[in-house]
Structure 1
Amino acid sequence: MDHSVAFIYAHPDDESFLSAGLIRELADEHVNPVLLLATKGDAGNKNGYVSHLSHDQLASVREKEMEHAAEILGISVIEHLGFPDGKLTQVDENLFVGAIVNFINKYQPKVIFTFPEDGCNFHPDHMTISKMTTTAVLSGKCPTVQKLYYCMSNTLAADGHHPTITIDVEKHWPMKVRALQAHESQILAIKRFFGDLQSFPENRRYESFVLKWNKGLLWTSIEEKTIFDDLTR
C-alpha cells in the first residue's frame, strides 16, 4: 500500500500497551507504521537496574528500548518531540500542535491513532497528547489525513461509543509480550497491567479503536472491516 499510518502517543511503551497487534498487522500488510512520541519517558517508573538513573540517563535507556520494540512491531520511523515527561500540560500549545503538524506533513499518513480525551486512564500526558493531536488534525493544516481514531476507553463506552475496529490480540500475544519486554525499565508497570506475561490475559484480549474524525465529520457511525475502508487516493 502506498500510504503510512501514524501512531501519536505520549511515552515509549504506549504503542505496545495499546496497539501492538494492530501495528504488527499493518507492517505485515506492507503498510508503513510511523510513531511520534511527545516525550522520551524520562520520568517513567524505574525499577531494578535503572532505579538510580537521572532523567537524562533514563531517557537514553528508554530510547534504546523503544528502538528494540519498534523492530519487533515493524515500526519504520520513531520520532521523539522531547518534551518533559509528566509535564506536557505545561508545553506551549502552538509549539506542540505545530510540531505534530510538521510530523504529519513529513510522513503524510492518511490515518492517525492516538489516545482518547480521557487518556484511557486520566493520565495528564495522555490527555494532552490526545488534545494536541486532535487539534492538529482538525486545524486544516494536515491535508493527507482522512481518519483519526481514538483508542477505546471506559469513558467512551459510557458515552455510548462502540469500537469501529477491534484486533484480537490472542494470535499476536507472543509478539506483544516481546514488544512489552523490550521496555525493560517499565516492566513492573507492564506486569501490573498485563499480569506475569507467562499466560494470556483474557481481560486484555482486544485492542479496540473508535473513529473520532472521518474526512471532516466527527463521530461518524460506520462499520469497517479495515482502517482503509472508504479512503480516497
Structure 2
Amino acid sequence: MNSPWRRPPRLLGVFAHPDDETICAGGTLAKYASSGAEVSVVALTRGGAGQIRDAGVATRATLRAVRERELDAAGKELGLTRTRCLDHPDGGLSEVDAKTLLEQVSELITEFDPDLVITFGPDGFSGHPDHVAVGAAVTAACYRLRSATSPRLFHCHLPRSGMLLRDRLAAWVVELTTRFKGTREFVRALSVFSRETAALGYAADFVSVEWYPAGSYLIEQGEEATVMHFLLSGSVEIRREGPDGRVRVVDRSGPGEFIGEEGIATGRPRNAHVVALDDVTSLTFLAAEPLSVDGHRDQALPLLTRTLPSGDRIDARVSTCIDVSDFVGHKIRATAAHRSQYPIDATMFPDSILREMFGVEYFIQVLPERELDTSLFDEDSAGWGE
C-alpha cells in the first residue's frame, strides 16, 4: 500500500456480532492488514444468542465468552491489530436507545481514530435487526464526527450471486479420479457451508434436508437432471433399466456420497434410478427461484442496477469492489476460527469454488460525499449548455 499517511493508515470495522467481520469483509480486512494498515474490529455484542453448531465447543452458559475468544482467534488469521467485544444484548441492539448507541459508537471512533470505517448499510447485509441498528449508529456517528476526524465511511454490500454451488460441486466430484466419500466432519461442514452461503446469497441454490422412506425413488431414470443429493444417512441402490423393462443393480451408495452429480455436470437426462434401501436423509441442492437485488423473490429488479462481469446484477450504489482472491484462505481460516458457528475445516472445499464465491468484496462509499456535478457533459464538451 502506498500510504499518504506518515503513520500506518487505520481501518476500523464496527459490527454486531463476532464473525460479522469475517463474513462481511474478511478478505478486505486481511488485505489491508497485510499491506501494513492497523486494522481493528469491534463487535457490539458477544453473540450470546447465536446458534451452537458444535456442542464440544460451547454451551449456552459459555457461548458469550467462547465467541469473544473466537473473534480474537479470527483476528489473528486476518492479521488484525485489535479486536474488542462490547456487552450489548445479542438480538436486542434494535431496542437499545438510539442516542445511547450513537454516543457509545462516537466514543469508539474517537478512541480508535480511524482513517476509514466499515460497517453495515441500511439493509444490514443480511437483514438482521442488530446489523441494521449498528449500521445506523455508526453512520450517524461518522457524520457527526466528520468535521473533526473526517473518517471515510463504507457500507458492506453483498450482491446476490447467480452461481450454483450444486453445479460447482458436481463438476468437482465428476473430475475426481477416485470415488468421493466425505468424512463425518465433511458431512457436517457441507451442511453448514451450503445452507449459510445460499441464505446469504453467495450461491443461488435452494438447499434443504429431505427424508425418503425405504423403497422410494430419489431419482428416476430418464428424467431431467435438476437436483443433486448428498447423503446424510441411509443407503441407496443405483438401478439401471433396459429397453425391455428389466432392471439390474449397478451400484450402492451411503452417507457422505453425492448422488446425481453426473447428470448435473453433463446436462444429460438421468441414466439410472436411485432407490432408498432404507430410510434416507439427504442434503438436496436445487436451483432456487431468481432473487432480486434486495433478496426478495418474485419482484422486479430495481431500476438502478449495474451488471457484473459474471452476469449478476448489483445495486448501482456500489462504488467499490476489492479483489481479495489472494486472501480467501485468510477469510476461510477466520471463518473456521468461529467454530461455534462454523464447524468447518478450511481445507475441505476446492479452492476454485471458494475463490469464485469469496474472491471479491463490495462496498458502498458513504463518506466523503461525492460533490455534485455542474454539467451533464464531460469536460471535453465544455461550453455546451452554458
When normalised by structure 2's length, the TM-score is 0.51
Instruction: Tell me the equivalent position of 2:23.
Output: 17
Would the alpha carbon gap of residues 116 and 50 (structure 1) be closer, same or farther in structure 2, given more than 3 Å must change? farther
Correspondence for 1:27 among 20, 26, 33 = 33
Alignment of 1:116-155 (within 5 A): 116-140=121-145, 143-153=148-158, 154-155=293-294
Per-residue CA deviation, residues 77-136 of structure 1 (Å, 9 max, x unaligned), is 112221000111111112111111111101111211101101122110111111111111
Q: Does 1:57 align with 2:62?
A: yes
Q: C-alpha distance in 1, partners of 2:56/2:363?
A: 33
Larger radius of gyration between Structure 1 and Structure 2: 2
Would the alpha carbon gap of residues 71 and 220 (structure 1) be closer, same or farther in structure 2, given more than 3 Å must change? farther
Q: C-alpha distance in 2, partners of 1:174/1:51?
A: 23
Q: C-alpha distance in 2, partners of 1:155/1:220?
A: 27
Per-residue CA deviation, residues 186-215 of structure 1 (Å, 9 max, x unaligned), is 016x89xx9x6444332333111110121x
Runs of at least 5 residues in structure 1 that lack an aligned partner in the other structure: 222-233
Q: Does 1:209 align with 2:214?
A: no
CA contact (8 A) 1:45 1:186 kept: yes
Q: Secondary structure at the match of 2:59?
A: coil
Alignment of 1:1-233 (within 5 A): 1=5, 2=7, 3-49=9-55, 53-54=59-60, 56-140=61-145, 143-153=148-158, 154-155=293-294, 158=302, 159-160=304-305, 161-187=316-342, 197-199=349-351, 200-201=353-354, 202-214=356-368, 217=369
CA contact (8 A) 1:211 1:219 kept: no
CA contact (8 A) 2:92 2:130 kept: yes
Would the alpha carbon gap of residues 182 and 220 (structure 1) be closer, same or farther in structure 2, given more than 3 Å must change? farther
Q: C-alpha distance in 1, partners of 2:37/2:47?
A: 27
CA contact (8 A) 1:150 1:210 kept: yes
Structure (1/2) with the larger strand percentage: 2
Aligned residue pairs total: 214
Instruction: Tell me the equivalent position of 1:231.
Output: none
Q: C-alpha distance in 2, partners of 1:140/1:76?
A: 23
Specify the code of the residue in structure 2 equivalent to 1:213.
L
Structure (1/2) with the larger helix percentage: 1
Specify the code of the residue in structure 1 equivalent to 2:336.
Q
Specify the code of the residue in structure 1 equivalent to 2:78.
L
Q: C-alpha distance in 2, partners of 1:218/1:179?
A: 34
Specify the code of the residue in structure 2 equivalent to 1:209.
F
Would the alpha carbon gap of residues 61 and 205 (structure 1) be closer, same or farther in structure 2, given more than 3 Å must change? same
Q: C-alpha distance in 1, partners of 2:100/2:21?
A: 23
CA contact (8 A) 2:58 2:66 kept: no
CA contact (8 A) 1:116 1:130 kept: yes
Runs of at least 5 residues in structure 2 that lack an aligned partner in the other structure: 159-292, 296-300, 306-315, 374-386
CA contact (8 A) 1:212 1:220 kept: no
Would the alpha carbon gap of residues 119 and 92 (structure 1) be closer, same or farther in structure 2, given more than 3 Å must change? same
Q: Secondary structure at the match of 2:340?
A: helix
* Higher RCO (C-alpha 8 Å, min separation 6): 1
RMSD after superposition: 2.7
When normalised by structure 1's length, the TM-score is 0.82
Identity %: 26
Tell me how far 1:139 sits from its aligned partner. Answer: 1.8
CA contact (8 A) 2:106 2:145 kept: no
